[in-house]
Structure 1
Amino acid sequence: MAERAALPLPDYDHLPIGSLESRVRALTAAEVEEVLAYERAHAHRLPVTELLTARLEQLLSGAEPTSGDPGAVRPEGPGRPNAGSPVSPATSPQPPSPTPHGTPDQRGRPRADRTWR
Structure 2
Amino acid sequence: MADDPGRSTLPLPDYDHLPLGALESRVRSLSAEEVEELLAYERTHADRVPVTEVLTARLEQLRSGAQPTPGDPTALRPEQAAGQAGSQVTPATSPQPFGAPPHGTPDQRGKPKGDRT
Please say whether Structure 1 and Structure 2 have the same fold, judged by a TM-score greater than 0.5.
yes
Greater RCO between the two (CA within 8 Å, min separation 6)? 1
Number of residue equivalences: 74
**Offset at residue 24 of structure 1 (A):** 0.1
Q: CA RMSD in A?
A: 1.3
4+ long deviations beyond 3 Å: none
Higher alpha-carbon deviation: 46-55 or 2-11: 2-11
Question: In structure 1, what is the equivalent of residue 20 of structure 2?
Answer: 17
State which structure, 1 or 2, has the greater radius of gyration over its C-alpha atoms. Answer: 1
**Offset at residue 69 of structure 1 (A):** 1.8
Q: 2:42 aligns with which of 39, 43, 47?
A: 39
Structure richer in helix, relative to its length: 2
Q: Deviations over 1:47-72 (max 9, x none)?
A: 00000000000000000000012123
2:21 partner amino acid: G
Q: 2 CA distance for matches of 1:10 and 1:35? A: 11
Normalising by structure 2, what TM-score? Answer: 0.60
Normalising by structure 1, what TM-score? Answer: 0.60
Give structure 1 stretches of 5+ with no counterpart.
76-117
